[in-house]
Amino acid sequence: MAKKSTGPGGGGKRTNHNVNDARGLQVRVKTARGRKLSSTLWLQRQLNDPYVLEAQRLGYRGRAAFKLAEIDDKHQFLKPNARIVDLGCAPGGWTQVALERCGETARIVGIDLLECDPIPGATLLVGDFMDDDAPDRLKAVLRGQADIVMSDMASNTTGHPPTDHLRVVALVETAYHFAAEVLAPNGTFIAKVFSGGTENDLLQILKKDFTKVFHMKPKSSRKESPEMYVVAVGFRRENDVQ
Protein backbone atom coordinates (compact mmCIF):
# COMPACT_ATOMS: atom_id res chain seq x y z
CA MET A 1 0.00 0.00 0.00
CA ALA A 2 3.01 2.30 0.44
CA LYS A 3 3.37 2.68 -3.30
CA LYS A 4 1.50 5.66 -4.69
CA SER A 5 -0.21 3.65 -7.33
CA THR A 6 -3.34 4.83 -9.10
CA GLY A 7 -4.69 1.35 -8.50
CA PRO A 8 -4.14 -1.97 -10.19
CA GLY A 9 -5.76 -1.41 -13.55
CA GLY A 10 -4.98 0.69 -16.61
CA GLY A 11 -7.33 3.34 -17.98
CA GLY A 12 -10.79 2.26 -18.90
CA LYS A 13 -10.65 -0.91 -16.82
CA ARG A 14 -13.71 -1.92 -14.82
CA THR A 15 -12.92 -4.71 -12.39
CA ASN A 16 -15.47 -6.49 -10.26
CA HIS A 17 -13.99 -7.02 -6.83
CA ASN A 18 -15.39 -10.10 -5.19
CA VAL A 19 -14.39 -9.37 -1.65
CA ASN A 20 -15.30 -12.19 0.68
CA ASP A 21 -17.21 -10.31 3.32
CA ALA A 22 -16.94 -13.06 5.94
CA ARG A 23 -17.64 -11.55 9.33
CA GLY A 24 -15.88 -14.20 11.46
CA LEU A 25 -12.97 -12.74 13.40
CA GLN A 26 -9.53 -14.03 12.46
CA VAL A 27 -7.34 -11.66 14.47
CA ARG A 28 -7.83 -10.79 18.11
CA VAL A 29 -6.07 -7.71 19.47
CA LYS A 30 -5.04 -7.82 23.10
CA THR A 31 -5.64 -4.75 25.22
CA ALA A 32 -2.41 -2.88 25.91
CA ARG A 33 -1.44 -0.47 28.65
CA GLY A 34 -2.06 3.08 27.51
CA ARG A 35 -4.37 2.07 24.66
CA LYS A 36 -8.04 2.91 25.03
CA LEU A 37 -10.59 0.11 24.58
CA SER A 38 -12.11 2.02 21.64
CA SER A 39 -8.69 2.08 19.91
CA THR A 40 -8.22 -1.65 20.52
CA LEU A 41 -11.65 -2.38 19.03
CA TRP A 42 -10.92 -0.11 16.04
CA LEU A 43 -7.63 -1.92 15.42
CA GLN A 44 -9.32 -5.30 15.70
CA ARG A 45 -11.99 -4.23 13.23
CA GLN A 46 -9.39 -2.97 10.74
CA LEU A 47 -7.34 -6.17 10.96
CA ASN A 48 -10.43 -8.30 10.32
CA ASP A 49 -12.09 -6.17 7.66
CA PRO A 50 -11.86 -7.97 4.29
CA TYR A 51 -12.19 -4.65 2.40
CA VAL A 52 -9.28 -3.12 4.33
CA LEU A 53 -7.15 -6.18 3.56
CA GLU A 54 -8.16 -6.21 -0.11
CA ALA A 55 -7.48 -2.46 -0.44
CA GLN A 56 -3.97 -3.04 0.94
CA ARG A 57 -3.42 -5.96 -1.42
CA LEU A 58 -4.49 -3.97 -4.48
CA GLY A 59 -2.71 -0.73 -3.56
CA TYR A 60 -5.82 1.36 -2.91
CA ARG A 61 -5.48 4.02 -0.27
CA GLY A 62 -8.55 2.96 1.63
CA ARG A 63 -11.55 0.67 1.70
CA ALA A 64 -13.71 3.57 0.39
CA ALA A 65 -12.33 2.78 -3.08
CA PHE A 66 -14.65 -0.24 -3.27
CA LYS A 67 -17.72 1.92 -2.62
CA LEU A 68 -17.11 4.02 -5.74
CA ALA A 69 -16.20 0.88 -7.71
CA GLU A 70 -19.51 -0.71 -6.71
CA ILE A 71 -21.53 2.42 -7.47
CA ASP A 72 -19.87 2.63 -10.90
CA ASP A 73 -20.32 -1.09 -11.56
CA LYS A 74 -24.05 -0.46 -11.21
CA HIS A 75 -24.39 2.92 -12.94
CA GLN A 76 -21.36 2.98 -15.32
CA PHE A 77 -20.61 6.70 -15.31
CA LEU A 78 -16.77 6.47 -15.12
CA LYS A 79 -15.89 6.67 -18.81
CA PRO A 80 -12.63 7.39 -20.68
CA ASN A 81 -11.59 11.09 -20.70
CA ALA A 82 -14.18 12.12 -18.09
CA ARG A 83 -13.77 15.44 -16.25
CA ILE A 84 -14.31 14.76 -12.57
CA VAL A 85 -14.48 16.70 -9.30
CA ASP A 86 -13.81 14.63 -6.15
CA LEU A 87 -15.02 16.44 -3.01
CA GLY A 88 -13.52 15.08 0.22
CA CYS A 89 -10.90 13.16 -1.73
CA ALA A 90 -8.41 12.13 1.00
CA PRO A 91 -6.72 9.73 1.30
CA GLY A 92 -7.43 9.20 -2.41
CA GLY A 93 -9.20 5.89 -2.99
CA TRP A 94 -12.00 7.35 -5.13
CA THR A 95 -9.51 9.31 -7.21
CA GLN A 96 -7.52 6.10 -7.77
CA VAL A 97 -10.61 4.25 -8.96
CA ALA A 98 -11.68 7.16 -11.19
CA LEU A 99 -8.24 7.32 -12.82
CA GLU A 100 -8.11 3.57 -13.23
CA ARG A 101 -11.48 3.50 -14.99
CA CYS A 102 -11.31 6.79 -16.95
CA GLY A 103 -7.66 6.63 -18.03
CA GLU A 104 -4.79 9.09 -17.89
CA THR A 105 -6.56 11.52 -20.22
CA ALA A 106 -9.26 12.06 -17.61
CA ARG A 107 -9.17 15.43 -15.84
CA ILE A 108 -9.61 14.90 -12.12
CA VAL A 109 -9.51 17.56 -9.42
CA GLY A 110 -10.06 16.80 -5.76
CA ILE A 111 -10.23 18.82 -2.56
CA ASP A 112 -9.97 17.86 1.09
CA LEU A 113 -9.38 19.47 4.46
CA LEU A 114 -6.50 17.03 4.83
CA GLU A 115 -3.41 16.89 2.69
CA CYS A 116 -3.48 13.96 0.30
CA ASP A 117 -0.32 12.30 -1.04
CA PRO A 118 -0.04 13.16 -4.74
CA ILE A 119 -1.68 10.89 -7.30
CA PRO A 120 -0.08 11.28 -10.74
CA GLY A 121 -2.73 12.36 -13.22
CA ALA A 122 -4.93 14.17 -10.67
CA THR A 123 -4.81 17.64 -9.09
CA LEU A 124 -5.48 17.48 -5.36
CA LEU A 125 -6.15 20.70 -3.45
CA VAL A 126 -6.10 21.21 0.31
CA GLY A 127 -8.93 23.28 1.71
CA ASP A 128 -12.39 23.45 3.14
CA PHE A 129 -14.97 23.00 0.41
CA MET A 130 -17.30 25.24 2.40
CA ASP A 131 -14.88 28.18 2.08
CA ASP A 132 -16.11 30.93 -0.23
CA ASP A 133 -13.15 30.59 -2.59
CA ALA A 134 -13.18 26.76 -2.85
CA PRO A 135 -15.57 26.50 -5.83
CA ASP A 136 -13.48 29.02 -7.81
CA ARG A 137 -10.26 27.14 -6.99
CA LEU A 138 -11.81 23.93 -8.32
CA LYS A 139 -13.22 25.65 -11.40
CA ALA A 140 -9.80 27.15 -12.18
CA VAL A 141 -8.31 23.64 -12.42
CA LEU A 142 -11.32 22.22 -14.21
CA ARG A 143 -11.21 24.88 -16.97
CA GLY A 144 -14.74 24.15 -18.10
CA GLN A 145 -17.54 21.75 -17.36
CA ALA A 146 -17.43 18.54 -15.35
CA ASP A 147 -18.96 15.23 -16.34
CA ILE A 148 -19.05 13.98 -12.76
CA VAL A 149 -19.14 15.73 -9.38
CA MET A 150 -18.76 13.23 -6.58
CA SER A 151 -18.73 13.88 -2.85
CA ASP A 152 -17.69 11.42 -0.19
CA MET A 153 -17.46 14.27 2.35
CA ALA A 154 -18.52 13.61 5.89
CA SER A 155 -18.22 16.20 8.63
CA ASN A 156 -16.80 15.32 12.02
CA THR A 157 -19.55 14.49 14.49
CA THR A 158 -20.05 16.75 17.49
CA GLY A 159 -22.11 14.31 19.54
CA HIS A 160 -25.07 16.71 19.24
CA PRO A 161 -27.36 14.98 16.72
CA PRO A 162 -29.30 18.08 15.49
CA THR A 163 -26.02 19.91 14.82
CA ASP A 164 -24.50 16.89 13.08
CA HIS A 165 -27.59 16.52 10.93
CA LEU A 166 -27.49 20.18 9.87
CA ARG A 167 -23.80 19.91 9.00
CA VAL A 168 -24.33 16.84 6.82
CA VAL A 169 -27.26 18.49 5.04
CA ALA A 170 -25.20 21.67 4.48
CA LEU A 171 -22.32 19.69 2.97
CA VAL A 172 -24.54 17.83 0.51
CA GLU A 173 -26.50 20.94 -0.45
CA THR A 174 -23.33 22.99 -0.99
CA ALA A 175 -21.85 20.15 -3.03
CA TYR A 176 -24.93 20.12 -5.25
CA HIS A 177 -25.02 23.90 -5.54
CA PHE A 178 -21.48 23.68 -6.91
CA ALA A 179 -22.31 20.69 -9.14
CA ALA A 180 -25.23 22.56 -10.71
CA GLU A 181 -22.82 25.35 -11.71
CA VAL A 182 -20.30 23.12 -13.47
CA LEU A 183 -22.00 19.93 -14.68
CA ALA A 184 -22.12 19.31 -18.40
CA PRO A 185 -25.36 18.13 -20.04
CA ASN A 186 -25.97 14.50 -19.09
CA GLY A 187 -23.53 14.82 -16.14
CA THR A 188 -23.63 12.76 -12.94
CA PHE A 189 -23.76 13.83 -9.29
CA ILE A 190 -22.92 11.39 -6.48
CA ALA A 191 -22.95 12.26 -2.79
CA LYS A 192 -22.80 10.57 0.54
CA VAL A 193 -26.02 11.13 2.47
CA PHE A 194 -27.17 9.81 5.82
CA SER A 195 -30.23 8.73 7.75
CA GLY A 196 -32.31 7.13 5.10
CA GLY A 197 -31.54 9.25 2.07
CA THR A 198 -31.46 12.73 0.64
CA GLU A 199 -33.37 15.48 2.44
CA ASN A 200 -36.71 16.02 0.79
CA ASP A 201 -36.04 19.56 -0.52
CA LEU A 202 -32.81 18.54 -2.21
CA LEU A 203 -34.36 15.33 -3.51
CA GLN A 204 -37.12 17.32 -5.25
CA ILE A 205 -34.49 19.56 -6.89
CA LEU A 206 -32.42 16.56 -8.02
CA LYS A 207 -35.50 14.89 -9.50
CA LYS A 208 -36.17 18.04 -11.51
CA ASP A 209 -32.56 18.56 -12.63
CA PHE A 210 -31.69 14.94 -13.56
CA THR A 211 -33.40 12.28 -15.60
CA LYS A 212 -32.93 9.64 -12.86
CA VAL A 213 -32.10 9.70 -9.14
CA PHE A 214 -31.12 6.57 -7.20
CA HIS A 215 -30.05 5.74 -3.67
CA MET A 216 -27.55 2.99 -3.08
CA LYS A 217 -25.85 1.38 -0.09
CA PRO A 218 -22.78 -0.44 -1.48
CA LYS A 219 -21.94 -3.80 0.09
CA SER A 220 -18.57 -2.35 1.07
CA SER A 221 -20.27 0.31 3.21
CA ARG A 222 -20.31 -0.98 6.78
CA LYS A 223 -23.76 -2.28 7.70
CA GLU A 224 -23.74 -0.39 10.98
CA SER A 225 -22.99 2.92 9.22
CA PRO A 226 -26.02 5.06 8.36
CA GLU A 227 -24.26 6.28 5.21
CA MET A 228 -25.64 5.71 1.75
CA TYR A 229 -25.15 7.42 -1.61
CA VAL A 230 -27.41 9.41 -3.85
CA VAL A 231 -26.63 8.95 -7.55
CA ALA A 232 -28.23 11.44 -9.93
CA VAL A 233 -27.67 10.81 -13.65
CA GLY A 234 -28.56 12.77 -16.79
CA PHE A 235 -28.11 16.41 -15.74
CA ARG A 236 -30.55 18.48 -17.79
CA ARG A 237 -30.28 22.01 -16.42
CA GLU A 238 -28.52 24.84 -18.24
CA ASN A 239 -25.49 26.54 -16.68
CA ASP A 240 -23.08 29.21 -17.87
CA VAL A 241 -19.91 27.13 -17.98
CA GLN A 242 -18.78 25.89 -21.38
Smallest gap from residue 167 Cβ to ligand SAM (A): 9
- Residues in CB range of 218: below 8 A, 6 or more apart: 66, 67, 70, 71, 229
**Which among 148, 144, 64, 77 is positioned nearest to 110, based on CA atoms?**
148
What residues line the site for ligand SAM (CB under 6 A)? 61-62, 64-65, 88-94, 111-114, 128-130, 152-155
Query: Which of 54/152 has CB closer to ligand SAM?
Result: 152
Query: Which of 61/107 has CB closer to ligand SAM?
Result: 61
Smallest gap from residue 224 Cβ to ligand SAM (A): 15
Query: Which of 129/189 has CB closer to ligand SAM?
Result: 129
Smallest gap from residue 14 Cβ to ligand SAM (A): 17
Smallest gap from residue 153 Cβ to ligand SAM (A): 4
Query: Which of 51/94 has CB closer to ligand SAM?
Result: 94
Query: Which of 1/32 has CB closer to ligand SAM?
Result: 1
Cα torsion 208, 214, 215, 220: sign:
negative
Catalytic residue positions?
192
Contact 230, 206 (CB under 8 A): yes
Smallest gap from residue 139 Cβ to ligand SAM (A): 16
